[in-house]
Every structure is written in structure tokens, then in C-alpha cells.
Amino acid sequence: MPSISRRRMLAASAGSLATLAGCSALGDGDDPDEPEPYRVGEVAVFNDDEESHDVDLLIRRDDEVVHWQTYELAPKDGEGGTNWATVPATEFDGCTPGIYQLAVRVDGDERRVFSSVSKPSADGKMRILRIYGDGEFRFLAGDEHQYCSSPTTTE
């Protein structure tokens, strides 16, 4: 199976995000469904599968790519390397308020786009990608640790 280039993934991601955004992107800012800016304190990727996985992680803030990297994660027993990776907020300026989207591709398969939900309780906290058996995965938002020093304020 031919691998998809970063350029193609970025183009597909941009198209998917535009589709997900719908017409609300053209709104006047008074839409109650429009998310409030928030911060992503850190992103962590954990492999809890028996197999190793290559994970492409794309982080966008306000439609701008702020981080894109491929991580080679060992199986959960750690044999052959580490089974986790973290992306500190300082690496993509995650303590800057904005609307974040996280796109993930595991082992070159179909990419999934996650638009993080703005929750005051999760502002500035970690987002976690956890890979389970057979390469299935999901994002979890927040933990007890605060990565950004002060809460987001909106006027």
C-alpha cells in the first residue's frame, strides 16, 4: 500500500476541517454553538497495544498547523524503545488560547480529525491519545495537572 505524503495529509486535513466547520466559520461571532478559545497544555501519546505503531500527529490552532510529527512507539511492554511520547505546550505554544484541532493517523491508515471541545475544566490541561489493541485509539481530554499557569479569559 503506498504511503500518503505529509502534503497530501495536510491537504486532506484542511478539506476535512473545512467540511467540519460548515457555515459557522462565516458567522458574526454571536453563534452560541461557536466554541470559545481555550488552551491545550500538552499532548501525550501512549501505546497500550501489544504491537508497535507509527503515529502521525497534527495539531492546528485557528486553522494554522502548529505541530506535525511522526512518532514510532514501541509495544506496551516497551521492548525495542519507548511506548509513549509527549509534546510539551512550549513546542506548539499550546498555552495560547485558540480553537484547536487534533488530527491523527496510526500506521498510515485513514486519518481521524478530532476537534477538541472547549471545557473550562479542561482549559490548559493535557490531551491524551491512547492506542488500544488492534490499533484502535481515542483522545481523552484533561487530567488533574494544570500545564498553563492561568485560566483563559474571554471578553
Whether pLDDT at 152 is above 80: no
Q: Give the contacts of 145 (CB within 8 A, at least 6 positions apart).
A: 41, 125, 126
- How far is Cα 108 from Cα 85, in angstroms, rounded to an integer? 18
* All cell numbers assigned to 122: 479542561
Tell me if residue 55 falls in helix, strand or coil: strand
What are the b/e assignments for 35-55, b being 16+ CB within 10 Å? eebbbbbbbbbbbebeebbeb
Q: What percent of the chain has pLDDT over 90?
A: 23
* Strands 42-47 vs 84-88: parallel, antiparallel or unpaired: antiparallel
Q: What is the per-residue pLDDT across 9-66, written as a single tens digit (0 to 9) for each?
A: 555 555 544 433 433 343 445 666 777 888 888 888 999 999 999 999 999 999 999 9
Q: What is the pLDDT of residue 87?
A: 92
Residue 102 burial (CB count, 10 A): 19
- How far is Cα 36 from Cα 39, in angstroms, rounded to an integer? 10
Report the run of H or E that residue 145 belongs to, with start and end: strand 137-146
pTM of this prediction exceeds 0.75: no
Q: Which residue ranges form the domains of the chain, and what is each CATH number?
A: 6-146 (2.60.40.10)
Residue 58 burial (CB count, 10 A): 20
Dihedral sign for Cα atoms in the order 85, 91, 92, 93: positive
What are the b/e assignments for 6-21, b being 16+ CB within 10 Å? eeebeebbeeebeeee
